[in-house]
Amino acid sequence: MNKYRFQLLLTLGLILSIYGSALAQAEELKLSLSRDFGYSSGTGSIQGRFSMKISGPEDLVRVVFLIDGQSVYEDSEAPFRFQFTTDSYSLGIHTLNSVGYTSGGLELHSNEYRREFVSAEEGWKSAGKFAIPILAFSLAVMVLSFVLPTLLGRGKRTALPQGAPRNYGFSGGTICPKCGRPFAMHFFGMNLLVGRLDRCPYCGRWSLVRHRSLAELRAAELAELENAQTDTQLSAVGEEERLRKDLEDSRFHDA
């Protein structure tokens, strides 16, 4: 009998343990730290403006944000958030965490962050170590974007019949704003905020262009074909008119 009672107590203990673990997870207070403006090394050094944000149970009614164990801000409305500037605190390592309170009276403690607050000078110096190589690489790409077409013989214009179907490749296609002809965008084109700087292989001019859909490109090909047919018809009419005039002139001279 004692054996069965022991097994029952063990089972109840296991159930309560699982229930308690689930309840603890449901009542978890999670703190996140995000950069709003400034520098973050990715290894613990920060400088600038940052935000501490809290997510927790639905009945969370109050959160106290702490830096080095001292209360720095109290928020009683969701979303629970505290924004701070590292320059307002001494340089060095600081501990960031929070304590939350539920409507049922539970006190919850969040995870914590340990971050080193560094000076603005050190932050910009460290950021420059990453920014300068990136800027140099971007400048090199810009230069090569203009030099490569000449080195590879791409400065020459491409002779392709108007209206001819074409493959726009992996980079996609665009339409030249100068001559109106669609062309495949080049790998040496340079991405800018307002568009992509690329060279039309037909008229040879550089323009800011944007990606066009396949339907737009096929429509541009059709427009090319219609223009070519119109030009051919006008040319034929002009040639016929010239022959008629020559015939009339010859008749006049014969007389």
Question: Based on the domain organization, do 111 and 32 belong to the same domain?
Answer: yes
Taking only the tens place, the pLDDT of each residue in 113-124 is 999 999 988 867
Tally of CB atoms within 10 A around 135: 11
Taking only the tens place, the pLDDT of each residue in 171-190 is 889 999 988 899 988 877 77
Mean pLDDT, all residues of the chain:
79
Does residue 150 sit within a domain? Answer: no
Domain boundary residue among 96, 118, 140? 118
Rounded percentage of the chain residues whose pLDDT exceeds 90: 38
Taking only the tens place, the pLDDT of each residue in 8-20 is 665 665 555 544 4
Task: Write the DSSP assignment of 201-245 as a string of letters.
Answer: TTT--EEEE--B-HHHHHHHHHHHHHHHHHHHHHHHHHHHHHHHH
Domain boundary residue among 101, 118, 135? 118
The answer on pLDDT for 24 being more than 60 is: no
> What is the reported pLDDT for 199?
85
The answer on pLDDT for 193 being more than 90 is: no
Does residue 127 sit within a domain? Answer: no
Lowest-confidence segment of 50-54, 55-59, 114-118, 185-189 by average pLDDT: 185-189
Lowest-confidence segment of 97-106, 145-154, 213-222, 238-247 by average pLDDT: 145-154
Classify each residue of 16-43 as buried b or exposed e, where b means 16 or more C-beta atoms within 10 Å of its C-beta.
eeeeeeeeeeebebebeeeeeebbbbee
Say if residue 220 is exposed, middle or buried (CB neighbours under 10 Å; 0-12, 13-18, 19+). Answer: buried
> What is the reported pLDDT for 20?
47
Domain boundary residue among 118, 147, 162? 118
Does residue 77 sit within a domain? Answer: yes
Beta strands in the chain (DSSP E): 30-40, 45-55, 60-67, 70-75, 80-85, 92-102, 107-109, 113-117, 173-175, 182-184, 190-192, 195-199, 206-209
Number of domains in the chain: 2
Say if residue 197 is exposed, middle or buried (CB neighbours under 10 Å; 0-12, 13-18, 19+). Answer: middle
Higher pLDDT, 73 or 27: 73
Tell me, what CATH number does 41's domain have?
2.60.40.10
The answer on pLDDT for 151 being more than 60 is: no
Does residue 130 sit within a domain? Answer: no
CB within 8 Å of 30: residues ≥ 6 apart: 54, 55, 56, 110, 111
Does residue 140 sit within a domain? Answer: no
What is the rounded distance in angstroms from the CA atom of residue 244 to the CA atom of residue 226? 27
Domain range for 241 is: 173-250
Instruction: Among 125-129, 186-190, 212-216, name the most confident range.
Output: 212-216
Say if residue 9 is exposed, middle or buried (CB neighbours under 10 Å; 0-12, 13-18, 19+). Answer: exposed
- Taking the model in full, what pTM does it have? 0.46
13-38 mean pLDDT: 68
The answer on pLDDT for 25 being more than 50 is: no
Does residue 123 sit within a domain? Answer: no
Question: Based on the domain organization, do 108 and 32 belong to the same domain?
Answer: yes
Does residue 144 sit within a domain? Answer: no
To 5 degrees, how large is the angle CA 226–CA 155–CA 148?
A: 125
> What is the reported pLDDT for 114?
97
Tokens of 211: 């990606």
Question: Based on the domain organization, do 112 and 189 belong to the same domain?
Answer: no
Question: Based on the domain organization, do 101 and 183 belong to the same domain?
Answer: no
Does residue 151 sit within a domain? Answer: no
CA-CA distances (angstroms) from residue 163 to 7, 176, 220, 227? 85, 14, 8, 9
> What is the reported pLDDT for 42?
84
